[in-house]
Amino acid sequence: MRTLPVTFALSLTLVVTAAGCGKVEVTPDATDVDATAIDATATDATAIDAPSTDAGVDAPSQVTITVSKSGVAAGAAIVTSDPAGIVCGPNCTGTFTAGTTVTLTTTVAGSVFAGWGGPCSGTGACTFTVGGATTVNATYRGAVVAIGVGPTSCLRDAGNSADLLRQRLVARGHTATFADATMLDTAGELATYDAIVFGGPGDPCAQIDAETYDGLIDAYVRTTGRGIVATGWLLYNGLTIPNIYANLPTVQTAAYFSGTFTVTPSGTHPIAAGVGTFSTGQWLPYGGGTKPGATTLLTANGADVGAAWSNGNGRGVFLGPMFLENHAPYDNENLLDGTQASSIELMLRAVEWAARAR
pLDDT exceeds cutoff 60 at 18: no
Within 184-319, strands assigned E span: 195-198, 227-231, 256-258, 262-265, 278-279, 283-285, 295-300, 303-311, 314-319
Task: Give the percent of the chain with pLDDT over 90.
Answer: 79
Kindly indicate the confidence band of residue 118, based on its pLDDT and cuts at 50, 70 and 90. very high
Going by CATH, does the domain composed of 144-354 fall within 3.40.50.12780?
A: no
Kindly indicate the confidence band of residue 36, based on its pLDDT and cuts at 50, 70 and 90. very low
Name the residue ranges covered by the structural domains of the chain: 62-141, 144-354
Mean pLDDT (the chain) is 88
In sign, the C-alpha dihedral spanning 287, 291, 295, 296 is positive
Q: Cα separation of 74 and 350, whole Å?
A: 19
Cα angle value 76/78/80 (rounded, 5°): 170
pLDDT exceeds cutoff 70 at 35: no
Q: pTM higher than 0.85, yes or no?
A: no
Q: What is the pLDDT of residue 57?
A: 60
Residue type for position 120: C
Q: If you compute the radius of gyration of the chain from its CA atoms, what whole number of angstroms results?
A: 38
> Which pLDDT tens digit goes with each residue over 276-335?
999 998 899 999 999 999 999 999 999 999 999 999 999 999 999 999 999 999 989 999
Which residue would you say has higher pLDDT here, 174 or 28? Answer: 174
Q: Cα separation of 126 and 313, whole Å?
A: 21
